[in-house]
Amino acid sequence: MGKGCLTASKYFLFLFNLIFFLFGAVVMGFGLWLLLDNQSFIVVLNNSMAVKVSCYILIGVGAFSMLLGFLGCLGAIYEIRCLLGLYFTCLLFILIAQITAGALMYFQKDTLNEEMSKIVTKVLDNYPGNNSTTEQAWDFIQRNMECCGWSGRMDWSGNMVIVNSSQLLFPCSCQNISLVSGNFSDSGFCEAQTPDWPVYDVGCASSVESWLLTNIGVVLGICLGVALIELLGMILSICLCRNIHTEDYTKVPKY
């Protein structure tokens, strides 16, 4: 490789790692946001250890990506072969892990849906209508996605407040605004005039699935873009590593 190509590869790799560092910061920030934001879906699923672990994994991946980006920048600018080799190996493992995680999520989607249904049903059964952080998050989801329950409105049939009340209560955040008039609450419980609740018929699982199908091109594009960027980083790092000249100590004069 010529000196000009080597220099270009070095600075391209530095720029790539700078972007990779910023990407890690975004991923870590996203994981922190899921854990700390009161309006995020993680608040609703705070009883699920698996979901919490997933958020901690996001934070860990982000921090690791930032460290990897820093090491890559250091190895590229100062032409340190061991750092470049370590960087290539880490990127390879990350790419394999991403492919494995994607395959597991695809083939285990029914199991994931069942787990989500159990978690949300437990949340709905214990929904007291006190406007707590968890309730605010679930109300926000139902109100904005125009859905009711996870599978449908019947998910609310086990709620203790509704079961034990002498009134015809239903969750206000499920209320279909096209079926009511006047002022209405968007949290807690509302009283229905008839046993047929004026709520959305679709469950939030269907709304989430519809959103994913609508945005599948964007999701796949992002995943493919990340994989291509990682491949580019691997190619640049191994080329730079192979073409960095080391001193030939066999030619050093002996005294």
Q: What is the pTM of this model?
A: 0.56
Question: 2: pLDDT confidence band, cut at 50, 70 and 90?
Answer: low
Higher-pLDDT residue of 116, 125: 125
Of the chain, the percentage scoring pLDDT greater than 90 comes to: 0
Question: What is the span of the domain harbouring residue 148?
Answer: 119-254
- Give the chain's largest Cα–Cα span: 103
Q: Is residue 183 part of a domain?
A: yes
**In this structure, which amino acid lies at residue 208?**
V
Task: State residue 155's pLDDT score.
Answer: 87
List Cβ neighbours of 212 (8 Å cut-off, separation of 6 or more). 219
The CATH number assigned to the domain holding 247 equals: 1.10.1450.10
**In this structure, which amino acid lies at residue 58?**
L
Q: Is residue 27 part of a domain?
A: no
Contact at 8 Å (CB) between 42 and 84?
Answer: no
Indicate the pairing of strand 189-191 with strand 169-171.
antiparallel
- Mean of the per-residue pLDDT values of the chain: 77
Mean local confidence (pLDDT), 117-121: 78
pLDDT in tens, 65-95: 888 888 888 888 887 888 888 888 888 888 8
Contact at 8 Å (CB) between 176 and 228?
Answer: no
SS (H, E, C) the chain: CCHHHHHHHHHHHHHHHHHHHHHHHHHHHHHHHHHHCCCCHHHHCCCCHHHHHHHHHHHHHHHHHHHHHHHHHHHHHHCCHHHHHHHHHHHHHHHHHHHHHHHHHHHCHHHHHHHHHHHHHHHHHCCCCCCCHHHHHHHHHHHHHCCCCCCCHHHHHHCHHHHHCCCCEEEHHHECHHHCCCCCCCCCEEECCCCCCCECCCCHHHHHHHHHHHCHHHHHHHHHHHHHHHHHHHHHHHHHHHHCCCCCHHHCCCC
Task: State residue 170's pLDDT score.
Answer: 87
Q: Is residue 76 part of a domain?
A: no
Q: Is residue 132 part of a domain?
A: yes
Quick one: how far is CA 2 from the chain centroid?
A: 42
Q: Is residue 243 part of a domain?
A: yes
Task: State residue 251's pLDDT score.
Answer: 41
Q: Is residue 125 part of a domain?
A: yes
End-to-end CA distance of the chain: 35
Res 135 pLDDT > 70: yes
Q: Give the integer Cα–Cα distance in Å for 155 and 63.
A: 38
**In this structure, which amino acid lies at residue 199?**
V
Q: Is residue 53 part of a domain?
A: no
Q: Is residue 83 part of a domain?
A: no
Please give the backbone phi and psi of residue 189, each rounded to the nearest 5 degrees, phi first. Answer: -115, 145
Task: State residue 252's pLDDT score.
Answer: 39
Number of independent structural domains in the chain:
1
pLDDT in tens, 226-251: 778 778 888 888 888 787 765 343 44
Higher-pLDDT residue of 213, 127: 127
